[in-house]
Amino acid sequence: MTKTVSMNIGNEDFNFENATVRIIANRNCPEIKLGGLTVGPFEEGNEYEVYYWVAIELQKAGIAHFREEERLDAAKLNKIQWTERIQTPGQISKMPDDFYPKLRRCLEELKEEITRDPEKMREYERVRHLTQDIINSRLKKIVSIASAPAQTENTLRNLTSEEKFLYGQLYKLISRWKTGILEYQGREEWLKN
């Protein structure tokens, strides 16, 4: 099961790395060739769409930065946490499909900032707390809907890919457990399965 979960998260992360994002050029830059891929030229202040992994390299080189909408931060996480908390247990809010990859990167970036500025530890802890709260809230809701009769695609549309995977695994496990409870034929029958 752990290997399957890791593969699912790894696949989603790979898809995220190869999805396009919007960046803003910090300065003029001629065309750049990267292993068969050509990006640019870039003109200072203009917005461009590139693969996420390319955007990271351009940011490291000081050529461009991410648009604010592309990043997660404490303020956005606060809003998400508040939304999750005010909903009823069976209600789950729409989350962007790239929420978890962005969340992992947000935490990684804050960890890196701590090495340069120890004062960032407080912000990291705050974001980590918000993250745990969001995950726990959504997890409770996913367990709740996985325990109910099969959900329609309409209900599941608000889940991210990682959450849909978790829902599917939980639904199968809970359904098998319920069947076993109701149809248990004794120890001998159980040992055959």
What is the model's pLDDT at position 130?
94
> Has this prediction a pTM greater than 0.95?
no
Task: Supply the pLDDT for residue 186.
Answer: 62
Per-residue pLDDT, averaged over 88-116, amounts to 88
Whether 43 and 96 share a structural domain: no
- Residues 102 and 41 placed together within one structural domain of the fold: no
* Total tally of structural domains belonging to the chain: 2
Shared domain check, 177 and 87: yes
Residues 48 and 118 both lie in one domain = no
> Each residue of 14-69: pLDDT tens digit?
988 898 999 999 999 998 887 788 888 999 999 999 999 999 989 999 999 998 88
State the pLDDT at residue 92. 86
Question: Is residue 128, in this structure, part of any structural domain at all?
Answer: yes
Structural domain containing residue 136: 74-192
pLDDT of the residue at 7 = 82
Residues 162, 90 within the same domain: yes
Same-domain check for residues 57 and 93: no
Say yes or no: 86 and 62 in one domain.
no
Indicate whether 175 and 91 sit together in one domain.
yes
Residue 193 has pLDDT above 60, yes or no: no
Q: Are residues 51 and 84 located together in one domain of the fold? A: no
CATH number of the domain bearing residue 111: 1.20.58.1030
Whether 7 is in a domain gets the answer no
Q: What is the pLDDT of residue 189?
A: 58
- Residue 11 within any structural domain of the chain: no
Whether 64 is covered by a domain: the verdict is yes
* 114-163 pLDDT, tens digit each: 989 888 899 999 999 999 999 999 999 999 888 888 766 777 889 999 99
Chain centroid, CA 174 distance in Å: 24
Contacts of residue 106, defined as CB under 8 A and 6 or more positions apart, other chains included, come to 71, 72, 73, 77, 127
